[in-house]
Amino acid sequence: MKKVRFIINPISGVGKKNKLPQLIEQNLNTALFSYDIVYTTHRGHAVEISKSAIEEEIAILAIVGGDGSISECSSALVGSNVILAIIPCGSGNGIARHFNIPLNQKKAIQLINTLSVQTIDTGTVNNRSFVGFCGFGYEALIAHRFDAISKRGFWSYAQLVMKELKKFKTIEVECLDTGRKWENVFFFSIANTSQFGNNFRMSPGSISDDGKLEFILVQKTSFFQFLRLLYKSYFGDVRNFKYTETISSNQFHFKMSTHLAHADGDPFRLTSNTIKIDCIPKSLRIIAN
């Protein structure tokens, strides 16, 4: 019998979590799995729980939360035999959507019963781990602002995006590998998966187990063109947008004029304006469709 440990972040994202213990009992196949539930109490607690799960040789660690919570857990699980399961409960659920994990909690729990495991790549930005995206510029600013507000969900995020848009000052980026420079940069992202969340696909060509990451740079343009970018990311392909550039590689070195950053939506500040980004191939086991 395999042991599953559920980690519930009570303040992550949206939705009610008080029904989860009942849903787990009703939908997890207890003929195959035993389980327990741990609630996080502070930022970084999921990392501590994940490290303990490795030491205890827990088979599956199921995180109930959003992309930031997933990133916390996975940072500890990279290179281990512990399998990550995801019960989506975030504002955007970009990682879950990429791997076709049901947003319905009942169905997401039932997916664990299938033991459908994929081994995927992860990334590091200055040795900080991420699963889906890390980013800089406008998207990093929004991640920092969104982290500071209490009301979660898509509409709170959308309102914040529009509020900060006119005030944002562009950044400069230099690729230290080639010497190429970009000015007037709106934001740039490093992607391992296809979307930010809510089906806005900023890197539709990303394959999470190909040993590569995608660099997506967006130049600042008019408000109308920004709306076109959003439209293309949801309904089309941003690679056809003339203000966007995409490059694939297993490693990137950059210098830029900002210290704001995020990893899977979790904001942080860089200690230097020089960044090193690496793809860590086949480093995380997850349950996915």
DSSP codes joined into one string, the chain: -EEEEEEE-TTSSSS--TTHHHHHHHHS-TTTEEEEEEE--STTHHHHHHHHHHHTT-SEEEEEE-HHHHHHHHHHHTTSSPEEEEEE-SSSBHHHHHTT--SSHHHHHHHHTTT-EEEEEEEEETTEEESSEEEEEHHHHHHHHHHT-S--SHHHHHHHHHHHHTTPPPEEEEETTT--EEEEEEEEEEESSS-SBTTB-S-TT--TTSS-EEEEEEE---HHHHHHHHHHHHHS-GGG-TTEEEEEESEEEEEES--EEEETTEEEE-SSSEEEEEEEEEEEEEE--
* 75: exposed, middle or buried (Cβ count in 10 Å: 0-12, 13-18, 19+): buried
Q: Taking residues 145-174, what's their average pLDDT?
A: 88
Q: What are 203-255's pLDDT values in tens digits?
A: 999 999 999 999 999 999 999 999 999 999 999 999 999 999 999 999 999 99
Q: Class of 128-281 per CATH?
A: mainly beta
* Percentage, residues of the chain above pLDDT 70: 98
pLDDT of residue 73: 94
Q: Across the chain, what does the average pLDDT equal?
A: 93
| pLDDT of 150 higher than 80 | no
pLDDT of residue 29: 97
CATH number of 2-115: 3.40.50.10330
Q: What are 88-134's pLDDT values in tens digits?
A: 988 899 999 999 999 999 999 999 999 999 999 999 999 899 999 99
Domain ranges of the chain: 2-115, 128-281
Q: What are 72-86's pLDDT values in tens digits?
A: 999 999 999 999 999
